[in-house]
Structure formats: structure tokens, C-alpha cells
A and B are shown apart, each in its own frame.
Chain A
Amino acid sequence: MRNEASISPFFGAYNARHINAEEVAHQFVPSSKFWELIALRNTLLIGPRGSGKTHLLKMLQPKALAAWKGDEGETARSKVDYWSVFTPADINWKTQVENRAQGLSSEDQIQFSNAVFLSHFREAYIACLIQLTRDRPSVDFGGKSTRVELPREKEVALCVALAETWRLPLRVPSLDGLKLALVEELVRVGVPKTLTSLSPYMSRLTSMTVMDVAREVSENFVNITGLYGARWALCFDELEIAPISIQKNLFSYLRSTDQRFVFKLAISPSNDASALLNQVGNASSGNDFDAIPLWFVDQGEREIFCSRLWEKHAADTHAATLSPIVLLQRSRFQFANEEISHGRRRYQETSPWVKDFQYLERIDRSFAEFLKRRDVSTAALSTASREKMNAVVRKVAPLVGFRATYFTSPKSSVASPPVRRKLKGPPPEVFSGWDAVCTATEGNPRWFGGIASRLILKWTQSPSGRALTREQQTHELQAAARKFLAWINAIPIENAQRGTPSLSLHDFISALARYFEQEILGPVFKADPVLSFTVDEGTPESIRRLVITALNIGAIVIVDDDVVNFMTSPVGRTFRLVHLLAPVFNLPMRKGKARNLSGILSKQLGNLDSRAPTSKRPGEPVDHNQMGLFNE
């Protein structure tokens, strides 16, 4: 049973890897991605860490489906036509296996890692059978789709048959006994001297494949139960952590014609496995499998998902009956837009927008000149022509508000550039409000859960019961950004050659952020600032790899319109920094125009030749449509 004291800190508290199937169901909020996932098709879930891959796969488990209360649970159970085997992985486990195998020859290392992984998969398969038969939720909504009646004598027969096939010593002939025997076998592998003389159980596994293991269990199960129509979804989480031989196995199965199995694979957007999948002759997206990217392109869909996540976190608290907007208010800029939602009156004399325009015009000569060039008068914004309103006023309004928050008037003469305010932290006017929370978290359930739960806790502890202050909200967003940056800082760099300056992921992100900050808060007002980057041919290989790493951990987001699929190379693709980092780097939460990456980094870091040869000169900015402060 979890309690407040045992919940891990940070985003880990909302990491589905740490919770059991029943709790997974209680915390689950289905997005449209889930309804795509449950189809009886091979599926690749593609997303960075925290994007909900584990939660989605764990929800397919029989016990999680059976514990899912409500109409949506009913719908899901009626549509899921298979039983799911969830196989987890994590970096600590991977490290243990790699280190244990270190003393072996390279061939033996592969076989050893393969065998350990397959034993792990077997254990997951048995866990699934236990969920189908004995390990049921406390309130069981599941019907036939999630449950199998398995009399004790049949259970014994199944376990004995499997143990004999596997050459596994079995002390207690039950599914739990079988699982325990598998655990004990792996514990024995932990003793180094056993590596040179593997047990018959492990030796047999060294030459097997995922499909061999799956068929063995499935066929024995069918023989005993007579359930000839049984179909299985084999779900593998964090596939990039699995041994490469297993990854190859699994990708080849995406073209499998064995009707008994479908594969649901969760993987980060780009890694070595991408190349495997993109090889000629391999499975292709749309034909052999569905690729489901786990990030939101549509802002409206993201907000709906965030609202539902909020409801889930607020349930059983005093905030349960209140909308998040009551607690957090609207974001300042959003509020200004909605105060008067139509027509020119939004820019009437007393509106906050007009005040921002007039203030910035007064303190920032470059902005005043911009307005003059476009023949826009801040005294008459509401009477600007429709064309001017669309092409100029609305387009720059969020940037004007952002810049006005950060600047004050120059001390010497009005001809000087405006002066940055001395702020103690990110300005609460910008980084607060419901819209800002949704945008900053990008609809990433782990980030959103971490921030929303802290905000709800703060509100429930507040005796006044009023909305949380903007300062409180900004503090939480800033803290979340710092946690994320701390993680980025911990990620080890690749080994660079001696004498070659190496760029850490943190340095890379910071260099980009400083460039974008100058675009928006530099001495000259820019109506179309660069806030995104396109990876060009001139980008050194080492930096392309940093781009991939940044993408996989969720520090950057793809913003071009190309088909989202596995990415073997980032060249030609356009990205922006994740909005979660905006408060610590003083960036607006919007996409902006894109510029070639090599050009940005040359400016920030100097000559990139020392990092790798460049083949082309940095290109020109790439145009993208400008949107609102919190719009994508």
C-alpha cells in the first residue's frame, strides 16, 4: 500500500513502472492514443521518457483491465481481444546484466544477455497467467476477456509440463511456484562462477528466441485449457534497453503471420533500433504495424487530456469539485484574449494588451520603430484595419506582453535599448495559470502529474481556499524545470577524443536556450524570433547524436509536419526546446521561426570544425507560421 511517505520524489511518483496493475488502472486516464493501441494489430508506441508508454502498456494487462471502473473500462474490455504479457526493463537491470556478463567472450555475452532477457520474459508470461487465473483485483469488473477458469489439477499439469520443457527444477507445482523457480534461477545466475557453467535451464535459453518462448507457453496453455482461440499481445517496454539480438527478433516479428500473437513495443523516438526497423525488407508503418507517437500535436486535444489528468489528481481532495481554472486562473495572456473574445474590442483602450503595447513602445525604441514602419498606432489599436490586426497586432501581441514583462525603461536616453528588469525568478505573469501549466508540461502525464499534484496539495493546505497565487504556480513550474535540468546534467557524455572539446547535453541545451533568449529578449524587438532549429547537413555528427539524445529524453520536441516515425537521422527535421524548460531560460512557450542548427551553434560556441567536419555552410532561417504565446 502506498502512502505519502513512501512515494518517491519528483516525476518518479507518477511513473507507472513503480505501481501494480490495479493501481495503474486507478490512475489511468485514456487519451486517444490508448484507443489506437488496443487494436488487434502490431503497434509501436514512440515517445520520450514520461510520455506514458509504460502506463499504456501496463493498462493492457488482464488485471489492470479488470480493475478499470466505469464505461471506458467496459468499452476497453469489450474491444481487447487478447491477453497481454507486459515485459518491463530499466537501466539498472540492464547495467546489472551487462556487468555480470563482462568477463565472458563477446559471443557468450550475447548468449548470456539473451538468456537472461528471455527468462525475464518467461516470468512476465507466467505473471500474466497468474493475473488471468488467481491474481484478481479487489473489485473485479473483468469478465471472460480478462479471466480464465483454471482448475487446480490443470494448473499443476501446466506447470509440470512447462518446468519439464524448460528443464527447470520445480518444488511447488503451481503458477506461483513456477514464478518463484524462475526467480531463483536468475538469482543463481548472479553468482559469478555460474557464468562459466550455465544450468541446463539457462543453456537451453541461450539459443532460443522470443517467439520460441512465447510459443512454448502458449501451446502448453492451450493443450491444458483447450482454449484454442487464445491470442496474446506481447508488450515490451523500453525496448531500446533490451539486447540488440532481442530487438532484431521483435522487429522481424512485426511481419509475423502467426495469428496467435501481436506485438506492442514501446520505444524512444530514435536510437540504434531505428536503423534495424528501417532496413529494407523489414516491417513498415501502416502496413505491418501502427506507429503511435505519444506527443500532442493538437493543442485542444492536449488541454482535454490535461483536464482529465487534473480531475484524476484532484479526486478525493477538496479540489475535486473545482475546475483547474478556479484554482489556477487563466494565464495572463490567455485571459486578455478571452475577456473580450471577438473583434477589435479586445484591443480597446483599457485592455491589458493595449497597455503592454503602449508600455513597450515607450521604453523600447526598436519596438516603437517597428510600429511606425507598419503604421500602427498604439492609441488606436482597436480601430486598426482587419488586415493590420491579423498581420501585425495579433501576431506580435504575445511577444509584446512577454518582452514588456522583462524590460524596463533605459536609464540614460530613450535612444538606448531597454534594460532587463532584475527579477528574482521567472515572472509570474508569464509562467502561471492553467494554460501555462498545460503548455509547459506538453501533456506529458508524468510531468503534469508531478506539477498538478503539488499545486493541488498547496491549495488544499491553504487556509484561505482562494486561488493559488501566480508566484506559487511559477515556483512549481520553475522547480519542475530545475529537476529536469538536473537529470539532463547527470546524463554522461560520449567519450570524446583526447583534446577534442566535448559538449554535454546540458551545454547543448543551454547554448540553444541562450540563442533563443537573445532572439526574444535581445536589444532589438523581433516580430518573428527564432525559437526552433532545423538540423542541417553542416551539423557535426557528435551534435546530431546529442539531438537524438535530447529527443529521446524529451528535452526537445519535433515541430515539423513530416510523418512521425522512427528517426534514423535528425537531419532535415525541425525541433524546439521542450516548454518545461521555458521558465529557467526565460523563453516564451511557443514554436517560433526555425534556423539551421549549425548556424545557431557556430554563433554560440564558435567554430564547429573542432567537433567534426562541416560539409555545408549554415543555411538561412526556415519560415514557420507564427502563433500565440501558448499555441503550437
Chain B
Amino acid sequence: MNSPKNCRPIISTIAPGDWFGSHYDLAIFALGFESRATSFIEDIACSKDRSFAFGFNHGHDKSYGTNLDRFRDAGVLIRQSLPDESFERELRGALQLVSDEACQNLFVDISCFTRFRLAAIVNEIFSIAQNRVNSLIVDFGYALANFEKPSTRRPPNTTVGPAHPAFAGWSQGSYSSTATVLGLGYEQDQAMGVVEYLQAGEVWAFAPNSPVQEYKPEVDNANALLLSEIAPNHVIEYNVCAPASVIATLESVVRGLSVEHSVVLVPFGPKIFVLCTLIVAAMRQDVAVWRASQGSRIEPHDRVWSGVRVGMRLTFQGCQS
């Protein structure tokens, strides 16, 4: 990650009133197959021709068609069927529209972006922010999905590694053993598999507390073996609806671990936690964020919005001023 440490945003959790009342200079959405992809579309006021929906080159079923229509109806510019490499180029092009003549407001709906694309977004935003004179305000929105039983048939991983090359980390002190900070999800024993893969010397886990109550027992169950072996004080419960607080806790844990370890964050679970790990890594220069991905082999299934939305605001004060 190449963002200097002094380019550090002010981070706050925001409520629906904050994005209802804002006018954005740029808005970014994911055009995916989940119906929650459009759960923010009607609430975001954005300058003309400054809203973009970035599509994927796979998974054009489930709610994809409906989402496409809704984005079109809302006047959102569509970038369809993008492979990941093209996504980065298109994203950069869209972000170039953000001028540095005045404070600018951005909105990003993270609900349906993959970990790779989220990482690319955070990387680009921090890169822009560090070269700005004027402030930049970025609001991230996340629509929690209704609970669904996790699939018992899990395709094999195609990637286990950094979420994006910019998030590979870099050891700061000599050769040091790896410490892993996990975000727990409900995929059976997957977090434990990555711990073993990394041969981590120290393990911490963040367990989500969601307003959608059904997740918790599933997460506990899927990680029972892992949780039985981590010291209880290494397991931290976090509130999915309080991302700013999650970042503060994450940073504190990472700061402590990085004295002796090369730290790898592995965020399973809700996308809002993925975003938190990326922001922590972007504010430092040494921490990696890894993903375990099944790529396009993953079976598409619709994730319906639960009615709960979470927001987080990053305010960059103008790093070049």
C-alpha cells in the first residue's frame, strides 16, 4: 500500500439521514446478481452522469436483469461485463472526474463488490486523497442481507492470497512470523483452513454481532473448532452497525501485533468488516489483507436486503495542503 501514513482520514459511522441529506459528486455501485445491489439507488442524490454501476463478467442471472433495468431507469452509467483488470481501469477513469477545486463527496455502495474490487476501490481512493489539496468525503454504504443457510457444497478455492497486490503488506522489522487477524464468517472451518495455510504464530478473531440474529449461531457453529482453541481474550465481538468503532479496535490489535509479527488480516463475514480491514491496511504500510476466493466457480444465489443499512464516512482533510 503506497498511501503515506499522514493521509489519515477522520472516520465516523453514519446513519441513513447522512446519505439522504447529502449531494454526491460521484457515486459507485456494483451491478451484480443480488437484489440488494440496488438498495441504495433511490436514496442517493448525485450529479448528472456521475453515477456508475460496474458489472462483472460472470453471474448474469438471478436479479441481474432487474438490477440492470433499475440502474438504467435511475440514469446510472452502466459498465457491463467487466473482468477485474478492466474494472480497475474503468474505476480510475470514473474517479478522475473528482475535481480538486473544492471539497468533493463520494458515495460507494459496497454491498455487492468482491473483496478484490473493494480493495481496488479503497486503494484508488487513498491514492487520490493523498494528492489532494481540498477535502474529500467518502461515504460507504452497506445493505445487510437477510439470513440464508450457507451452502453445504462449497467450490474449491481458486485464490488464497492478497485481496489486491496493493494489500500484500510488507514486513517492517526483520523476518517475523505471521500473525493472523480473522473476520469470522459462516463458511464451515474456512477461517481455520487459512490459519493453517499461513502457519500463523498468533491468531485473533473478530466475530460479528449482526441485527440479523440468525447469523450468530451459524458463525459460532462454523467456527466452533477454531473458537475452542483461541484464547477467549483473542476473540473480539464487533457490532456490524458500528464500523468506525470496529476500525479503532482493529487498529489497536494490529498495532500491538505488528511489533513482533507480520500481520495478515483475513476478513471473512460481512463486507463491512472487509472494508474496515482494507481501511486499516491503507492507513498503515505494513499490513496485508488476504482473501480466499472461489472465483467465478461460486454458485450465484440472490442475497436479499434485510432492511438494515450501515454507513461509514471517511473525511480526508486535504493531504497536500
Contact = CB atoms under 8 A, between A and B. Distances in A.
Nearest to A186: B171
B94 to A, nearest CB: 22
B169 A96 contact: yes
A335 interface: no
A92 B158 contact: no
A12 B195 contact: yes
Nearest to B157: A492
B193 A486 contact: yes
A218 to B, nearest CB: 21
Nearest to B173: A183
A489 interface: yes
B203 A9 contact: yes
A10 B159 CA distance: 23
Interface stretch (A354-362, A460-468, A499-507): A499-507
A526 interface: no
Contacts of A12: 195-196, 199-201, 203
A90 B174 contact: no
19 contacts: A9-B229, A9-B230, A17-B177, A88-B175, A90-B199, A92-B198, A92-B262, A92-B288, A96-B170, A96-B262, A100-B168, A486-B193, A486-B225, A487-B193, A487-B196, A489-B154, A490-B157, A492-B156, A504-B156
A537 interface: no
Interface in B176-212: 177-178, 189-190, 192-203
Contacts of B175: 88, 93, 120, 123-124
B234 interface: yes
Interface stretch (A135-143, A187-195, A301-309, A616-624): A187-195
A379 interface: no
B96 interface: no
B162 to A, nearest CB: 6
A6 interface: yes
A552 interface: no
Contacts of B264: 92
Most buried by A among B156, B161, B178: B156
Contacts of B2: 191-193
Nearest to B161: A95
Given A123-B175, A483-B225, A486-B192, A491 B170 contact: no
Contact of B190 (A90, A179, A486): A486
Contact of A96 (B158, B168, B233): B168
Interface in A47-103: 49, 88, 90-93, 95-96, 98-100, 102
Contacts of A10: 192, 195-196, 229
B165 interface: yes
A95 B193 contact: no
Contacts of A483: 192, 196, 225
A455 B219 CA distance: 27
A486 B189 contact: yes
B231 interface: yes
A561 to B, nearest CB: 31
B286 interface: yes
A190 B193 contact: no
Interface string B1-44: 01000000000000000000000000000000000000000000
Contacts of A99: 162, 165, 168
B157 A491 contact: yes
A514 interface: no
B225 A490 contact: no
Contact of B201 (A18, A179, A502): A18
Interface in A503-521: 504-507
Interface size class of B (residues with CB under 8 A): 35 or more
A387 interface: no
Nearest to B292: A490
B160 interface: yes
B202 A8 contact: yes
A268 interface: no
Contacts of A6: 202, 231
Contact of A479 (B159, B169, B190, B225): B225
A415 to B, nearest CB: 36
In the A-B complex, the 6 residue pairs with the smallest Cβ-Cβ separation, listed nearest first, are: A490-B193, A504-B156, A99-B168, A190-B170, A487-B196, A9-B229
A11 interface: yes
A187 B285 CA distance: 10
A12 B193 CA distance: 12
Contact of A490 (B170, B178, B190, B202): B190
B156 A493 contact: yes
A573 interface: no
Interface residues of A, number: 55
Contacts of A412: none
Interface in A449-500: 479, 482-493, 495
B231 A4 contact: yes
Contacts of B201: 8, 12, 15, 17-18
B285 to A, nearest CB: 6
Most buried by A among B160, B177, B233, B292: B177
Contacts of A507: 156
A183 B174 contact: yes
B167 to A, nearest CB: 8
A502 B190 CA distance: 20
Contacts of B169: 92, 96
B47 interface: no
A504 B297 CA distance: 12
A90 B234 contact: no
B172 interface: yes
B257 to A, nearest CB: 11
Interface in A1-24: 4-12, 15, 17-18
Nearest to B175: A88
B207 to A, nearest CB: 15
Interface string B214-241: 0000000000011011110110000000
A26 to B, nearest CB: 17
Contacts of B285: 190-191
A514 to B, nearest CB: 16
A482 B288 CA distance: 27
Contact of A495 (B158, B171, B197, B202): B158
Given A10-B192, A102-B165, A502-B156, A91 B171 contact: no
Interface in B128-154: 154
B298 to A, nearest CB: 13
Given A482-B189, A495-B158, A5 B231 contact: yes
Contacts of A488: 193
A491 B160 contact: yes
Given A9-B226, A99-B165, 8 more contacts: A90-B177, A98-B168, A193-B2, A479-B225, A491-B157, A492-B158, A505-B156, A507-B156
Contacts of A487: 192-193, 196-197
B156 A93 contact: no
Contact of B233 (A5, A183, A502): A5
A98 B165 CA distance: 9
Interface in B96-147: none
Contact of A95 (B174, B230, B288): B288
Contacts of B199: 12, 15, 17, 49, 90-91
A120 B288 CA distance: 20
B157 A92 contact: no
Contacts of A495: 158
Contacts of A179: 174
